[in-house]
Structure formats: structure tokens, C-alpha cells
């Protein structure tokens, strides 16, 4: 009896299929409800490819601390500040223009390496077609004085830090915009975690 010959095949790319199990009723655009204290933030993220073309089928996940710097997670050892309206997590798919939006509060400073505090930031994961693994980055708020002492941001070369800074829109206080470039000259800094 002859055994069938098995030939290895190339690995497949991921997506676009996020809408099947991770979006729609499972998307979370409001990370912090109206009853959560802190500085209100309306964030628009836009995902672009290396040619600057919007990626219309990406998925962005956000993890963040609350305004007091406490994560909504059992492994955060600090006392619970507690507010049921603060999820600390968001998930959105991008639209035809490559954008998605979140409503939240600006996070407080959180402990970091060497017991130094980290500047207010959001942790982002990006999933998109052609990626076998998620891309992980951070969003910092442009102009925040704590950025100067952030131990993680200090690891990023000066000329690349701009890729991690969200900009406040002048027309509306609390409205921020963040571009995520997947590759190319303006590629966002991604972290190997």
C-alpha cells in the first residue's frame, strides 16, 4: 500500500474576516461611560498602509488604565478605584476610510520599569490582512509633560517618537486623532511583546 505524499504548503495570511467573530455586537467603542471621572477623550484612529491608503478592514483593540492609573484587571495590585462604567478595553473595526473611534478618559500615570511612572498612554493592538500576528504599539498624548520622563518612550529614538503621539484636534477640546502606519517611511513604532 502506498502512503500519500504530503507536501508542505505556504502559510496563509490573516483576514479580512474580523467581522465574523470580533466585531458587530462584540465591538466596544465606549471604554469609559459618562459616569467615569477624568478628562474626557474622543479618539479617532486611522490605519494606513505603506502607500498611505486607508486599511478598511483592520481591527484595533485598546487596553488602558483609568484616570487614577488603575487597570481594570485582577493583576493590577493597587486598590480598586471601581466604576462599573469603566471597561479599560475597547475594540473597533475600521471603516471604508480606515478609521474607528473610541470614547474614554485620559489615563493616569501607571508604574513602569525601575519604579518610574509612565506617561498617560493607551496600549493598542492592530490586526489586519497580511499580518500573521498582531502589531502592538502605544498611543501617547502630544504635549503631555509626563512624556519627557516616560521610560518606555525614552527607548524610542527621538526621530521616531512622533509616530506614537496622538494630536488634539483644534476644533474640539478632548478630540484626539492618531494615525497608524503599518509600514513605509512613516511606519508607526511597534513593540515586540
What's the CATH architecture for 18-181?
Sandwich (2.60)
pLDDT tens digits, one per residue of 10-29: 555 555 555 555 556 667 88
Q: pLDDT-based confidence at 3, cuts 50/70/90?
A: confident
Query: What is the gyration radius of the CA atoms in the chain, in angstroms?
Result: 19
pLDDT tens digits, one per residue of 142-192: 999 999 999 999 999 999 999 999 999 998 999 999 999 999 999 999 999
Average pLDDT, the chain: 88
**Cβ count within 10 A of residue 164:** 23
Tell me the CB-side half-sphere exposure of residue 128, using CA atoms within 13 A.
22
Q: How far apart are CA 127 and CA 30, in angstroms?
A: 19
Write down the pTM of the prediction.
0.86
pLDDT tens digits, one per residue of 89-143: 999 999 999 999 999 999 999 988 888 999 999 999 999 888 888 999 999 999 9
More confident residue, 22 or 83: 83
Contact 3, 50 (CB under 8 A): no
Amino acid at each position: 500500500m502506498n502512503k500519500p505524499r504530503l507536501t508542505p504548503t505556504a502559510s496563509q495570511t490573516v483576514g479580512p474576516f474580523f467581522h465574523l467573530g470580533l466585531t458587530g455586537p462584540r465591538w466596544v467603542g465606549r471604554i469609559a461611560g459618562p459616569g467615569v471621572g477624568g478628562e474626557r477623550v474622543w479618539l479617532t484612529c486611522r490605519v494606513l498602509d505603506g502607500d498611505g491608503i486607508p486599511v478598511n478592514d483592520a481591527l484595533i483593540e485598546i487596553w488602558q488604565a483609568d484616570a487614577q492609573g488603575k487597570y481594570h484587571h485582577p493583576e493590577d495590585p493597587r486598590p480598586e478605584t471601581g466604576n462599573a462604567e469603566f471597561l479599560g478595553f475597547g475594540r473597533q473595526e475600521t471603516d471604508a476610510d480606515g478609521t474607528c473611534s473610541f470614547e474614554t478618559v485620559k489615563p493616569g500615570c501607571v508604574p513602569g520599569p525601575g519604579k518610574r511612572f509612565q506617561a498617560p498612554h493607551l496600549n493598542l493592538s492592530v490586526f489586519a490582512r497580511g499580518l500573521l500576528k498582531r502589531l502592538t504599539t502605544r498611543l501617547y498624548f502630544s504635549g503631555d509633560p509626563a512624556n519627557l520622563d516616560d521610560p518606555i518612550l525614552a527607548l524610542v529614538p527621538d526621530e521616531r517618537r512622533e509616530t506614537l503621539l496622538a494630536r488634539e484636534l483644534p476644533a474640539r477640546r478632548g478630540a484626539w486623532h492618531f494615525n497608524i502606519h503599518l509600514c513605509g517611511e512613516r511606519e508607526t513604532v511597534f513593540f515586540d511583546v
